[in-house]
Amino acid sequence: MPKSLPKSKRSKDDVLKELRELRTEDARWKDGRTFSLVYYVDDEHSRLLKEAYGEFMAENGLSPMAFPSLRRMESEVVSMAAGLFHGDDDVVGTMTTGGTESIMMAVKTAREWARNEKGIARPEIIAPLSVHPAFEKAAHYFDIEIRHAATGPDLRVDLQDVERLITPNTAMLVGSAPPYPHGVMDPIVELAALAQSRGLLCHVDACLGGFFLPFAKKLGRDIPPFDFSVPGVTTISADLHKYGYAAKGASLVLHRNRELRRHQFYTYSEWPGGLYVSPSMTGTRPGGAIAAAWAVMHYLGEEGYLDHARRVLATTDKLIAGINAIPGLRVLGKPHVGVFAFASDSLNVYELADAMEACGWKLDRQQNPPALHCMITPAHERIADTLLKDLRELSSRLAAGEPAPEGSAAMYGMVGAIPDRKQVDGFLMDFLDGMFDRG
């Protein structure tokens, strides 16, 4: 039976109390034992985001005419990001609700560009195996082909393989700065040069690194160029709601110039409801997310972003060195931001994750190869030593033959062994179907 709407009204306090109580079984991100999904700094920071978001919660960024306030904030956010990414006066952009939407807009741009300017009926894009699934999703939604380039032993995309995959239908090459699974940047300079020499677009997915790499570089880290300073880079995606420390629902897609961005936009002039224009996927665009992003960039400034990057890098260095010192564990590749993965040649890392989970740690499981993932924020500074201590102790117990507690290791092992990935997709579909059951 479907639930019915409550018959009568309730007090605000009563409803909010029940709302907060729904949280009890949620991932506890504030104490730093979760490593994805939430980029938490501290309560003062969260209050700024809430107030800025709340201030513009009702406003809608869909109409550029009705709210000059939002238009101004968006254009300032785009401009600050363009500056951060070494863009010149031609660089333009749009705020979106997230990395996936930014990526979809870059892929749509490539499709329209290929069709309209190159006469390619069935455009293709080439992306590394490590690229974010948002590109697969975009290819699926926009019905274009995505060809996957192999990654080398250093986890970066293999340029020879990219070159091999280029056809007369290729519209765009994609690289990540860095990809989510291992945090190791693709060779953007070389990739963009290849794109340029073949007359192709080149997208850099800096969803994860966009608001981190420039500050890491300022702090003296060896960060290869990845932005508009690189000839041949045509679009960049960068998430404000990750290391931009903004509220959820804020990302950017930037274009080398206005001509390119026109391929992203959508207009419709025959609707009885009026002339319709929309810069991105969504219709209504939440004003709160735009306001919170604008506010956090002014609140932190370069000084604040540098502070956070310094703390994240120090914690990451400590964890990487500590994990590499644990017998059997090793960090994969040479990560550039606060994101990395570690694997094992002697232990089942899925069992290690189950053992860690029994101690209150939530580490994301990865595959090809099996690995555990860490995404470090300033909130993880306090837990680094405990994390290393628990990892050391639990992996030595597993190595000694102690069984891991019941968890998801068996499921991961089984799924990993199924050669027919279509069958796995079927399981995932059932899982999703079950997760979004009616309450």
Ligand X SMILES: *Cc1c(COP(=O)(O)O)cnc(C)c1O
Please give the residue ranges that form the binding site for ligand X (CB under 6 A). 98-100, 103, 132, 134, 176, 179-180, 205, 207-208, 239, 251
Report d(CA 310, CA 172) in Å as an integer.
34
- Distance in Å, CB of 248 to ligand X, minimum: 8
Query: How far is it, in rounded angstroms, from Cα 351 to Cα 366?
Result: 13
Q: How many C-beta atoms lie closer than 10 Å to residue 310's C-beta?
A: 15
Between residues 136 and 307, which has the closer beta carbon with respect to ligand X? 136
132 vs 263, which CB is nearer to ligand X?
Answer: 132
**CB distance 88 to 228 below 8 Å:** yes
Residue 249 phi/psi, 5-degree rounding, is: 100, 25
Closest CA to 201 of 225, 175, 219, 222: 175
Q: Could you tell me which of 16, 38, 15, 14 has the C-alpha nearest to residue 26?
A: 38
| Gap between the Cα atoms of 116 and 128, Å rounded | 26
Q: Find out whether 172 and 105 touch, Cβ atoms under 8 Å.
A: no
Q: Which residues contact 329 (CB under 8 A, 6 or more apart)?
A: 323, 342, 343, 344, 347, 391, 395
Nearer to ligand X, 140 or 382 (CB): 140
Of 36 and 348, CB closest to ligand X:
36
CB-wise, 252 or 409, nearer to ligand X?
A: 252
Distance CA 82, CA 336 (A): 21
Question: Considering beta carbons, is residue 131 or 319 the nearer one to ligand X?
Answer: 131
Instruction: Tell me how far, at minimum, the Cβ of 350 lies from ligand X, in Å.
Output: 22
Least separation in angstroms between residue 208's CB and ligand X is 4
Q: Report d(CA 305, CA 204) in Å as an integer.
A: 21
Whichever of 289 and 352 has its CB closer to ligand X, that residue is 289
* In the complex, minimum distance from the CB of residue 170 to ligand X, in angstroms, rounded to a whole number: 21
Which residue's CB atom is positioned nearest to ligand X? 99
- Least distance to ligand X, CB of residue 181, Å: 9
Q: How far is the CB of 405 from ligand X (least distance, A)?
A: 30
Are 175 and 204 contacting, i.e. CB atoms less than 8 angstroms apart?
A: yes
Judged by beta carbon, residue 182 or residue 263, the one nearer ligand X is 182
Contact 291, 52 (CB under 8 A): yes
Q: How far is the CB of 417 from ligand X (least distance, A)?
A: 28
